[in-house]
Structure 1
Amino acid sequence: MIDAQTLLLFSTAVLALLVSPGPNMAFLLSHGISHGARGGLAVAFGIFVADLLLTALTATGITAIITAWPPSFDILRYFGAVYLLWLAVQAIRHHGSPHLVEERKATTWSIFRMAMLNSLFNPKALLFFMVFLPQFVSPESGEVPLQLTILGVLLALIALVFHCGLGISSGKVGSLFERSATASRYFGWFHAWIFVGLAARLLLLDKPTGR
């Protein structure tokens, strides 16, 4: 079993990574501001489920198999970029809707799904789990897959708490803008630029080279 000192070190490292700005944070803040706390929490739980799935893939060795196939990196990032650009188009098409409040309630599941897919289609996320988790694994402490699972679940839980807090906070900021019809009108364009930025980031990722 993993010792307490390793778990503490791992948790500290996870927190340090979470406070660094990244695609998940940008995605969460944009949806928290434009959809309120409900949207922020939906993103938080979408990322949580994605983290659990990536943990399972890493613990079973599937992540290593996927990343060992050279074309997989490009396939994932191109597919992810196309998906994000499609979301940008949808955001522009629906911007300025007078039924914004009703749409928020109806799209909570969609926000959750988008957040989950945004994480899963990021090839760097697969590489992160494959490289980061094993650093805290000790073969002498027991079964490696079990240790990877424990660490991955712990990471997902810490991230969930952090993202929920961030989602609620951004939701409160968004509620201030909600009172302004002008601000509400531009939420769609705000989302669109976030999606375009994330898509560009995926396309510009450096492909890892093997040794």
Structure 2
Amino acid sequence: MIDPATFSLFLLAVLALFLSPGPNMAFVLSHGVAHGVRGGFAAALGISAADLVHTLCAATGVTALVAAWPPSFDVLRYAGAIYLLWLAWQAMRPAPTRSNGQARPMAFPRIVRMALLNNLVNPKALLFFMVFLPQFVNPSHGHVTLQLLALGVTLAAMALVFNTLLGAFSGEIGRRLQARPGAEKFQHGLLAFVMIGLALRLLFLDRPAKGI
């Protein structure tokens, strides 16, 4: 069992991480602006689902096995960059329209899947869960795997709440932009710009000194 003092420190550390601008924040904000509140929430849901997958992999040793393979860092970052560039291209394409000529909103499950895959192919996210969670584990307080799972589930739940609020905020901005001429073009252009920026960020990541 995790002692209250350590758990409180963990919560503060996670909150500080959320408040620091990063790729997840950019992903949620851009999808909220482009697809509204539902788009922001879908992105939040996908990111939290990826957090749970990363937690499970870290707790079971899968992440350590991946990190032990030297080319894994480049494989993940290049795959992630290609995927993000594909998302940018998709954003710049004309959106499907309804019979009344209005743009058809992107399917909720598709945005969830995009956020999930974007997070899973980020090598920095993989490293984060492998390095960050164990700092708050004390083997003398119980089963290490269970402690890791508890911490990871807590982080995923906090991420869902934080990113949902972020998505609601950006979704409201997107809704207000809709009333302006050329709003849809601007929203999707912004989304494409963010996806390209995230892809370049992955391509120019510094390789860690050790491991992955």
Once the two structures are superposed, residues 43-74 of structure 1 have per-residue CA deviations (whole angstroms, 9 ceiling, x without a partner) of: 00000100000000000010011011110000
Alignment of 1:13-162 (within 5 A): 13-94=13-94, 99=98, 103-104=104-105, 106-162=106-162
Deviation at 1:164, TM superposition (A): 0.7
Once the two structures are superposed, residues 111-140 of structure 1 have per-residue CA deviations (whole angstroms, 9 ceiling, x without a partner) of: 111111111110000000000000000011
Structure 2 unpaired stretches of 5+: none
Q: Is the 8 A contact 1:94 1:188 kept in 2?
A: no
Deviation at 1:102, TM superposition (A): 5.3
Deviation at 1:192, TM superposition (A): 1.0
Deviation at 1:5, TM superposition (A): 1.1
Once the two structures are superposed, residues 135-157 of structure 1 have per-residue CA deviations (whole angstroms, 9 ceiling, x without a partner) of: 00001111111110000001111
Tell me which amino acid in the other structure corresponds to 2:8.
L
Change (3 A) 1:94 1:102: closer
Give the match's secondary structure for 1:181.
Answer: coil
- Give me the whole-angstrom Cα distance separating, in 2, the residues matched to 1:181 and 1:41: 26
Q: Is the 8 A contact 2:174 2:187 kept in 1?
A: no
- Give me the whole-angstrom Cα distance separating, in 2, the residues matched to 1:36 and 1:44: 13
Alignment of 1:177-188 (within 5 A): 177-188=177-188
Deviation at 1:103, TM superposition (A): 2.2
Deviating above 3 A after TM superposition, structure 1's stretches of 4 or more consecutive aligned residues are 97-102
Total equivalences in the alignment: 209
Query: Where does residue 193 of structure 2 map in the other structure?
Result: 193
Which protein has the bigger helix share?
A: 1
- Give me the whole-angstrom Cα distance separating, in 1, the residues matched to 2:189 and 2:18: 26
Tell me which amino acid in the other structure corresponds to 2:107.
T
Give TM-score, length-normalised by structure 1. 0.95
Give the match's secondary structure for 2:104.
Answer: helix
Deviation at 1:4, TM superposition (A): 1.1
- Give me the whole-angstrom Cα distance separating, in 1, the residues matched to 2:176 and 2:83: 30
User: Does 1:5 find its partner at 2:2?
Assistant: no
Q: CA RMSD in A?
A: 1.5
Give TM-score, length-normalised by structure 2. 0.94
Query: Where does residue 166 of structure 1 map in the other structure?
Result: 166
- Give me the whole-angstrom Cα distance separating, in 2, the residues matched to 1:155 and 1:52: 9
- Give me the whole-angstrom Cα distance separating, in 2, the residues matched to 1:103 and 1:67: 41
Give the match's secondary structure for 1:21.
Answer: coil
Deviation at 1:101, TM superposition (A): 5.9
